[in-house]
Structure 1
């Protein structure tokens, strides 16, 4: 059964889900339900080229897309601690959808990070009630998008190599530099805005269905009032503005760990049902093969350890979210060091597990029909987003000298 056939028609409206979760545990159970649906044809969908519209509809219909939204507007009212767990659960079944979901949640939260109180209230109400799915054209390695000031209007012009969420998004976060200044401006625009063209050119070995192709931004217009955090064309800064990087890096951590968990669980099921003991071993059943048992014990212990670290760092971050207006530079920097440590360990463990599971499966498991390679391809593709040794350097410099990372697009 495909996702389209199995997709619920809506929460509380005769669909698969007739209630909205209210506790973190209930939300995690909901994410597991979604992962179960995603897993049914994950191997086949990994080979597909169509945009994941049904998968995004599933995230919306399950309530996961609005889990951070205010309860009074139909959202889940949950914390980032819970949101990270949901990303991890979704990614166990499909790393691409785990990434799409995580990026969506970051951009959903962007108004909280940068906006004025009035913008935050307006965006969160509209995004929750209308179940917007967010994309973002904010790749910092490309040339800056240029912004022209035309009185009451901002005009964005440029291009970005990557724009995750592109064709499946309802709204897109744009970012650029105001012409003649060094002032960066974020704004949310409809994804069908005139001049915003998404190109179907994402053709990578992994994370194939993240809609991460390039985008052309040809004089896209929006009101100055949508410039996040600006009052009378002047930005209102606070340290909390810079928490976007720790958030997105923890998003990465959690879908890496979700992919690793999916690989390990899928491999264990194959081992239980299909793997044979080696002919020169002294056992008849693969479940008694000491090398196989050791491998699962080793990988599980490593994964549990990094999951625990990720959860601890998420809890630390939630304390910063809870007092956004009083976060200090030192607190932000110390937290980023912890995030960097989690990112480094999650990268290494996820790559080790997704590549190493084949040692417990046997040659027949390399048949493309099983799709075990997708786990490694997905992790390998995204872990190149920013070099992991620079994350270790953040940690090492802090340990040796007390240095804290300067806020950048990657630290």
Structure 2
């Protein structure tokens, strides 16, 4: 790809931030670089090598990593806000970063203490970028037990991160059993064949095409959470879904914020007032003021809910061995509420900005439609009606959503 990112900012030369506020400011800087040519890169749809290099150079890929290995040691509320900020500049890159954070954290969800320490040290020191081939709607990848090793074979329709990742998280089932096994494997190997078949209307730079897994060999010692081929389950193992759903929430809201900021600048500088309205500037039009007021109010409310739910998750993440089914279920209900709200608000915001930019704002060079296309594409990941159902069932009957691949 032609590197069309803003090269006037040498992020790699900047010292690493030392505070959470500093890391959020670093994310805003990355946002400014990404948004400078987001429309052009969206049209090109090229593999985002430069964009992922930017995430690495900025240090954002290691914010959840241990400080003793060069990470920032931040917690999930900050990571979610970083995803939101980056997504405001480019929704695809916000999604890639959010998925990376989940898979970086996967060792803590299911790994042994030794595996967690090893993965986090290597991932932080080497600034690994994670991808994942764990689409539950497809047939399970089959794992063959070959003594000291297991071998993965199968195909997944989606593998977000694919060619831009350093490592890929695989999940499969040992043949003739119901034993699921996660493992982190190098992405650059012949046994992983990433296909260039991601051709969707939105999130075009997420490298989410299909993958063929043909003989990926992993030693049993790297099977996440297993000792002597046995896995001891705990409630915290099931937190992958609430974590990734909050990632969705935050890059949806980030895309919506990017849409509103972009539209507002256009309204201030380009949009003309209606010739029969009696106003000299578009920013004085009552309907323009009302629309922006409504959309910003709704976005701020959705962001506040997302932030509150993220803070609530800290109790679970700080005591992974102590989390109960009840606490996990109640947290998932709150995540579901945030997901439903973020989806509705982001779709509405990204569609209605056209009402306040005017007809000229539909020019393809601006590509303001990319914001809606991005939210619309990913928000079909799982039906939002089921998220509202989780909230309704809990509030009326106390029913907790059972841990599944989507709840």
TM-score scaled by length of structure 2: 0.98
Residue number in structure 1 paired with 2:70: 74
The corresponding residue for 1:244 is: 240
Aligned partner of 1:320 in structure 2 is 316
Q: Is the 8 A contact 2:130 2:166 kept in 1?
A: yes
Residue 27 (structure 2) pairs with residue 31 (structure 1): yes
Look up the match of 2:167.
171
- Residue deviations 1:295-349, cap 9 Å, x none? 0000000000000000000000112101111000000000000000000000000
C-alpha separation between the residues in 2 aligned to 1:286 and 1:3? 31
Instruction: Provide the alpha-carbon RMSD of the alignment.
Output: 1.0
State the TM-score, normalized to the length of structure 1: 0.97
Instruction: Identify if the C-alpha distance between structure 1 residues 337 and 207 changes in structure 2 by more than 3 Å, giving closer, same or farther.
Output: same
Q: Is the 8 A contact 2:6 2:36 kept in 1?
A: no
Does the CA-based 8 Å contact 2:150-2:218 persist in structure 1? yes
Distance in 1 of aligned mates of 2:327 and 2:51: 37
Q: Take 2:7 and 2:271, find their aligned partners in 1: how far apart are those partners?
A: 32
* Deviation for aligned residue 1:236: 1.7
Asked if the contact 2:108/2:116 (under 8 Å) is kept, the reply is yes
Corresponding residue to 2:354 among 339, 358, 363: 358
- CA distance, structure 1, for counterparts of residue 18 and residue 322 of structure 2: 28
Q: Give the equivalent residue in structure 2 for 1:283.
A: 279
**How far 1:50 moved relative to its partner?**
2.1
Q: Distance in 2 between matches of 1:389 and 1:37?
A: 36
Shift of the alpha carbon at 1:6?
Answer: 4.7
Residue 285 of structure 1: how far off its partner (Å): 1.0
Contact 1:202 1:214 in 2 (8 A): yes
- Whole-Å Cα distance in 2 between the matches of residues 317 and 46 of structure 1? 34
Q: Per-residue displacement from partner, 1:139-187 (whole Å, max 9, x unpaired)?
A: 0000000000000111000000000000000000000000110010000
CA contact (8 A) 1:7 1:54 kept: no
Matches within 5 A, 1:378-397: 378-397=374-393
Answer yes or no: is the 8 Å Cα contact 2:95–2:248 preserved in 1: yes
> For 1:234, which of 230, 233, 242 is the aligned residue?
230
1:153 aligns to 2:171 (yes or no): no
How far has the Cα of 1:20 moved from its partner?
1.4
In structure 2, the residue matched to 1:201 is: 197
Give the 3-state SS of the residue equivalent to 1:47 in structure 2.
helix
How far has the Cα of 1:284 moved from its partner? 1.6
Pairing 1:114–2:116 present: no
Q: Report SS of the residue matched to 2:173.
A: strand
Residue number among 213, 234, 244 corresponding to 1:217 in the alignment: 213
Question: Counterpart in 1 of 2:259?
Answer: 263
Kindly indicate whether residue 186 of structure 2 is the aligned counterpart of residue 186 of structure 1.
Answer: no
Alpha-carbon distance, 1:192 to partner: 1.1
Tell me if 1:101 matches 2:103: no
Instruction: Work out the CA distance in 1 between the residues paired with 2:167 and 2:114.
Output: 19
> What's the secondary structure of 2:107's corresponding residue?
helix
Tell me the secondary structure at the aligned position of residue 200 of structure 1: coil
Partners in 1 of 2:56 and 2:293 — Cα distance?
A: 37
Q: State the match for 2:295 in structure 1.
A: 299
Instruction: Give the secondary-structure state (helix, strand or coil) at the position aligned to 2:364.
Output: coil
Q: Which residue of 1 aligns with 2:37?
A: 41
Q: Distance in 1 between matches of 2:25 and 2:354?
A: 29
1:407 corresponding residue in structure 2: 403
Shift of 1:7: 6.7
How far residue 361 of structure 1 moved from its aligned partner, in angstroms, is 0.7
Structure 1 residue 227: deviation in Å? Answer: 0.5
How many correspondences in the alignment?
A: 405
Match of 2:4 among 2, 17, 21: 2
Counterpart mapping for 1:52-71 below 5 A: 52-71=48-67
User: Aligned with 1:216: secondary structure?
Assistant: strand
**1:311 corresponds to 2:307:** yes
User: 5+ unaligned residues in a row in structure 1: which ranges?
Assistant: none
* Distance (Å, rounded) in 2 between the aligned partners of 1:7 and 1:145: 43
SS in 2 for 1:32: helix
Alpha-carbon deviation of 1:193?
2.3
Measure how far apart 1:281 and its partner are: 0.7
The gaps in structure 2 that reach 5 residues or longer are none
